[in-house]
């Protein structure tokens, strides 16, 4: 053994040794595995020593030298090499040296691990306190994204704990995944195994069950620790801690209320009672998703998950996770399981977009792992730039062409999926806002119910009534900030703009199929599309403002009528500007001469007042805001469209407007608002009701 840490001549950017007193097997400047020069020892864990080393090409790596007596199945560990994710510490290689010593080569993470952050925080305070909320969110969301990716790939971490979470220049990364599975557990432990390791171990580990629920349990423990500065089950010895895991109930009194339900659920002794996946767990927290982060759901994205791993990995996981399958089968038979709130991304990523994204990711990974000197890398960049420049004459037109076809296809696909997706908690916006909705509804609902019933843990008795569920959902909606609401409104508005453009295309293609296309022929269609969009944008705004309560009917009708009047004015002005003939269809039902002069010209053409009155009556009479309510029964109800069209016809009998434009506008507004407005699917509500909270 050589004491190395204090004799290191490490590069200036290398961090200060964390364990200066430790004895490491390898000394600085020693070449291992024929290509890595040891710089210094970083630390020792349950599996062996970890070194900071530099490859021949100058790349920084962390080398884990597995303890000699451990029985390592390297073939198994190598499966983890397939996993690439922003929130996972990359495993570069797993190999043996000439002495048959096993090594794991991985990405070197410069920043501290969460254990070190906890220690620093503890040192600064006299009694245990939680980390700042922003930090908790950052660490936890990063961990969740990494663990979710592992689970999606069919892997269970098995050793989640603060020491395995790293802060890599602001990006939280999960390390050490998969290793414990391939290293014979019976040999693990050694002199470095600390009591700390046992704080995060789920009770079923003792029975040899290693489903992903053990990771959920560990995440629950860590969330508890981040919030309170203590672990839920503590003790002097491993045995004491294990007994508490097996039998004691966590004391959640020091945990802030919005997090209690989630933690209580994660710390259930019975794995089948825990959230079934990371997405369900995150949905129970009062947080929005980090931008661009989506979670696999237990059932929803299995197809995507399968794509993420090779068949070899799956075969291996099947073998290793048989115990998990048994546990899950048992859980299905167990009485009264709490159904997981599985809320999913409504539109699986478009295949071409995914392929492009993956290619960029692979390119990026290849570049980062490329063992070339900075000089040769520079030459490669210049060569690539030259090749691109020389080919711009055909590349640019081709890209534009792809854009012209691909962008509309992408948008339409996205919209169609939003409507047809059976399990969606729908939203008008991009995926992030869907997840946001899902989280708001599920997470805040459950915590709100518990708050309401003054019940901190999740031991249920009676499911809430439908009215209670609705009230809870509205309550949860009311907690959202104005800025969030405004952002959602704008997103809905953008979606409805696209729907309006699509409607314009469809109606004009049908309407003008036998006519020569001219600006004059096109103008009524453009006019209708504009009016429909303005009407639905206004309604979406009302819907957003009113979504958190049932509201007072008369006030809403009056407000809605005002909005209708505004739509009427805009319709009138636009018709004037676009020179749309406004006398079409007017004489069909009512003789123009019998119309009031203040509303109509002598030719029967409606004045602004007629348009205002018509749409005000329509909007007030039909309660047009109803199709925008996120708790409406169906996302797109054709009944609502039919009612709007018939209602408009009835109003037309009293205050005529051009037809069939009037009916098309009324129907169009209802179609567009329903397609663009967020919606909580009835089944999701039923699932929430079924939760015995």
Alpha-carbon span 274 to 340, nearest angstrom:
8
Contacts of 126 by beta carbon, 8 Å cutoff, 6+ apart: none
268 close to 219: Cβ distance less than 8 angstroms: no
Question: Distance of CA 196 to CAs 131, 162, 225, 230, 291, Å?
Answer: 18, 9, 12, 12, 32
Q: At what angle do helices 553-578 and 519-546 cross, to 10 degrees?
A: 160
556, 600 Cβ separation under 8 angstroms: no
50 vs 643 by CB, closer to ligand ATP = 50
Residues 2-31 that bind ligand ATP (CB under 6 A): 18
Q: Which residue has the tokens 């499911």?
A: 463
Q: How far is the CB of 14 from ligand ATP (least distance, A)?
A: 11
> With respect to ligand ATP, which residue has the nearer C-beta, 47 or 527?
47
Q: Is residue 163 within the footprint of ligand ATP (CB under 6 A)?
A: yes
Surface-to-core class of residue 637, CB atoms within 10 Å of its CB (0-12 exposed, 13-18 middle, 19+ buried):
middle
Q: How far apart are CA 190 and CA 45, in angstroms?
A: 9
Q: Which is nearer to ligand ATP, 45 or 538 (CB)?
A: 45
In this structure, the number of other CB atoms found within 10 A of the CB of residue 358 comes to: 13
Which structure tokens are listed for 672?
A: 């567009």
d(CA 596, CA 583): 15
The set of residues, in sequence order, having a beta carbon less than 8 Å from that of 512 and lying 6+ positions away, is 521, 522, 525
**147: contact with ligand ATP by CB under 6 A:** no
The CB-of-51 to ligand ATP minimum distance in angstroms stands at 9
Residue 223: CB minimum distance to ligand ATP, A = 19
Interface stretch with ligand ATP, choices 123-131, 157-165, 238-246, 369-377 (CB under 6 A): 157-165
Write the interaction track for ligand ATP spanning residues 316-345; mark x where CB under 6 A is met and - where it is not: ------------------------------
Helix (H) or strand (E) holding 6: none
Among 5, 32, 40, 43, binds ligand ATP (CB under 6 A): 43
CA distance 132 to 336: 37
Nearest CB to ligand ATP, comparing residues 15 and 292: 15
77 binds ligand ATP (CB under 6 A): no
Q: For 401, which DSSP code?
A: H
62 binds ligand ATP (CB under 6 A): yes
Of 94, 91, 97, 102, give the one whose Cα is nearest residue 69: 102
Q: Which of 28, 67, 152, 159 binds ligand ATP (CB under 6 A)?
A: 159
Q: How far is the CB of 49 from ligand ATP (least distance, A)?
A: 7
- Per CB under 6 A, the list member of 70, 89, 255, 624 interacting with ligand ATP is 89
Residue 175 touches ligand ATP, criterion: CB under 6 A: yes
Q: Phi, psi at residue 255, to the nearest 5°?
A: -85, 130
Torsion angle in degrees (nearest 10) through CA of 188, 194, 200, 203:
60
Q: How far is the CB of 305 from ligand ATP (least distance, A)?
A: 25
Residue (45 or 647) nearer to ligand ATP, CB: 45
Which residue, 111 or 235, has its beta carbon nearer to ligand ATP?
Answer: 111
Rounded to a whole number of angstroms, the minimum distance from the CB of residue 292 to ligand ATP is 24
Q: Site for ligand ATP (CB under 6 A): which residue of 38, 72, 106, 264? A: 106
- How many helical (H) and strand (E) elements, i.e. helices and strands, does the chain have? 24, 10
| Beta carbons of 155 and 307 less than 8 angstroms apart | no
Minimum Å distance from CB 463 to ligand ATP? 42
210 is a site residue for ligand ATP (CB under 6 A): no
Q: Does 46 bind ligand ATP (CB under 6 A)?
A: yes
- Sheet with strand 102-107: strands edge to edge: 31-32, 36-44, 48-55, 60-66, 102-107, 91-96
Q: Which of 24, 108, 546, 600 binds ligand ATP (CB under 6 A)?
A: 108
Residue 658 makes contact with ligand ATP by CB under 6 A: no
Nearest approach in angstroms of CB 180 to ligand ATP is: 8
Stretch that binds ligand ATP, among 4-12, 68-76, 108-116, 470-478 (CB under 6 A): 108-116
Q: CB of 157 within 8 A of CB of 80?
A: no
For residue 323, the tally of other CB atoms under 10 A from its CB is 14
Told to check if 118 binds ligand ATP by CB under 6 A, we report no
- The single residue among 17, 28, 45, 443 that binds ligand ATP, judged by CB under 6 A, is 45
CB of 37 to ligand ATP, least distance (A): 16
Q: Which residue is nearest to ligand ATP (CB)?
A: 45
- Picking from 142, 141, 168, 146, the residue whose alpha carbon sits closest to that of residue 157 is 146
Residue 3, beta-bridge partner list: 23
With binding defined as CB under 6 A, does residue 88 bind ligand ATP? no
109 binds ligand ATP (CB under 6 A): yes
- Of 128 and 190, which has the nearer Cβ to ligand ATP? 190
- What does residue 44 show for φ and ψ, rounded to 5 degrees? -130, 135
Q: Which of 148, 167, 176, 213 binds ligand ATP (CB under 6 A)?
A: 176
Shortest gap between Cβ of 107 and ligand ATP (angstroms)? 6
Length of the chain as a residue count: 693
How far apart CA 402 and CA 392 sit, in angstroms, is: 15
CA distances, 71 to each of 164, 177, 187, 525 (Å): 21, 17, 7, 74
**Long-range own/partner contacts, residues 554-559 (CB < 8 A, 24 or more apart):** 556/623, 556/625, 557/620, 557/621, 557/623, 558/620
Q: Give yes or no for a contact between 46 and 197, defined as CB atoms under 8 angstroms apart.
A: yes
Using the 8-state DSSP alphabet, how is residue 443 labeled? I
- Residue (175 or 568) nearer to ligand ATP, CB: 175
Contact region with ligand ATP (CB under 6 A), list: 6-14, 102-110, 459-467, 642-650:
102-110
Q: Determine the interface stretch with ligand ATP among 40-48, 351-359, 384-392, 434-442 (rule: CB under 6 A).
A: 40-48
Q: Is 64 annotated as a binding residue?
A: yes
Number of residues in contact with ligand ATP under rule CB under 6 A: 22
Out of 4, 5, 50, 671, which residue is the one contacting ligand ATP (CB under 6 A)? Answer: 50
In the complex with ligand ATP, which residue's Cβ is closer, 1 or 390? 1
CB of 109 to ligand ATP, least distance (A): 4
458 is a site residue for ligand ATP (CB under 6 A): no
Judge whether 81 and 94 are in contact, CB under 8 Å: yes
Please identify, using beta-carbon distances, which residue of 20 and 581 lies nearer to ligand ATP: 20
92 binds ligand ATP (CB under 6 A): no
Contact residues for ligand ATP (CB under 6 A)?
18, 42-47, 50, 62, 64, 89, 106-109, 113, 159, 163-164, 175-176, 197
Binding site as annotated, residues for ATP: 64
Binding site as annotated, residues: 64
């Amino acid at each position: 053994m050589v004491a190395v840490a204090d004799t290191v001549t490490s590069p200036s950017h290398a961090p200060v040794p964390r364990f200066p007193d430790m004895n490491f097997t390898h000394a600085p400047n020693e070449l291992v595995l024929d290509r890595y020069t040891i710089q210094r020892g970083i630390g020792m864990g349950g599996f062996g020593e970890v070194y900071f080393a530099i490859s021949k090409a100058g790349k920084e790596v962390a080398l884990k030298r597995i303890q000699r007596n451990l029985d390592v199945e390297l073939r198994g560990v190598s499966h983890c090499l397939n996993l690439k994710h922003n929130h996972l510490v990359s495993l570069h290689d797993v190999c043996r040296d000439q002495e048959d010593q096993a090594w794991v080569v991985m990405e070197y993470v410069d920043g501290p691990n969460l254990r070190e952050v906890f220690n620093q925080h503890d040192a600064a305070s006299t009694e245990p306190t939680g980390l700042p909320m922003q930090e908790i969110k950052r660490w936890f969301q990063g961990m969740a994204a990494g663990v979710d990716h592992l689970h999606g790939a069919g892997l269970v971490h098995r050793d989640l704990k603060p020491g395995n979470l790293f802060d890599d220049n602001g990006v939280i990364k999960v390390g050490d995944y998969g290793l414990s599975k391939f290293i014979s557990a019976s040999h693990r432990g050694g002199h470095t195994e600390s009591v700390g390791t046992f704080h995060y171990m789920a009770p079923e580990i003792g029975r040899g069950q290693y489903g992903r629920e053990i990771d959920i349990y560990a995440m629950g423990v860590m969330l508890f620790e981040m919030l309170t500065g203590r672990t839920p089950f503590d003790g002097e010895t491993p045995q004491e801690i294990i007994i508490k895991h097996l039998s004691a109930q966590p004391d959640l009194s020091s945990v802030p209320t919005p997090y209690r339900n989630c933690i209580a659920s994660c710390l259930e002794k019975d794995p089948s009672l825990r959230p079934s996946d990371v997405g369900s767990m995150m949905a129970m927290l009062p947080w929005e998703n980090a931008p661009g982060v989506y979670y696999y759901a237990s059932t929803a994205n299995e197809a995507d998950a399968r794509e993420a791993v090779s068949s070899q990995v799956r075969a291996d996981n099947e073998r290793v996770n048989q115990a998990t399958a048994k546990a899950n089968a048992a859980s299905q038979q167990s009485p009264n399981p709490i159904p997981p709130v599985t809320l999913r991304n409504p539109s699986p990523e478009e295949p071409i977009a995914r392929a492009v994204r993956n290619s960029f990711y692979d390119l990026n990974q290849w570049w980062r792992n490329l063992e070339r000197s900075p000089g040769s890398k520079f030459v490669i960049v210049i060569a690539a730039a030259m090749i691109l420049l020389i080919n711009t004459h055909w590349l640019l037109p081709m890209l534009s062409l792809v854009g012209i076809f691909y962008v509309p296809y992408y948008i339409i696909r996205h919209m169609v999926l939003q409507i047809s997706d059976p399990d969606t908690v729908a939203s008008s916006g991009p995926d992030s806002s869907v997840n946001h909705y899902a989280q708001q509804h599920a997470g805040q609902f459950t915590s709100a119910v518990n708050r309401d019933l003054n019940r901190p843990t999740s031991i249920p008795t009676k499911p809430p009534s439908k009215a209670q569920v609705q009230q809870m959902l509205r309550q949860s909606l009311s907690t959202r900030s104005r800025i969030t609401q405004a952002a959602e409104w704008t997103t809905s508005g953008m979606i409805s703009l696209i729907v309006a453009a699509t409607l314009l295309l469809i109606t004009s293609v049908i309407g003008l199929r036998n006519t020569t296309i001219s600006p004059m022929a096109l103008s009524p269609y453009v006019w209708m599309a504009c009016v429909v969009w303005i009407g639905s944008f206004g309604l979406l705004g009302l819907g957003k403002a009113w979504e958190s309560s049932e509201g007072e009917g008369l006030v809403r009708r009056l407000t809605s009528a005002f909005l209708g009047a505004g739509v009427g004015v805009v319709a009138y002005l636009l018709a004037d500007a676009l020179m749309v003939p406004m006398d079409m269809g007017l004489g069909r039902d009512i003789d123009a001469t019998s119309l009031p002069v203040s509303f109509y010209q002598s030719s029967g053409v409606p004045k602004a007042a007629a348009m205002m009155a018509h749409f005000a009556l329509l909007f007030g009479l039909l309660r047009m805001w109803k199709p925008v309510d996120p708790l409406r029964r169906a996302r797109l109800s054709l009944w609502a469209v039919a009612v709007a069209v018939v209602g408009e016809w009835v109003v037309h009998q009293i205050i005529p407007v051009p037809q069939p434009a009037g009916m098309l506008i009324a129907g169009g507004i209802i179609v567009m608002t329903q397609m663009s407005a967020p919606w909580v699917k009835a089944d999701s509500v039923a699932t929430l009701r079924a939760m015995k909270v």
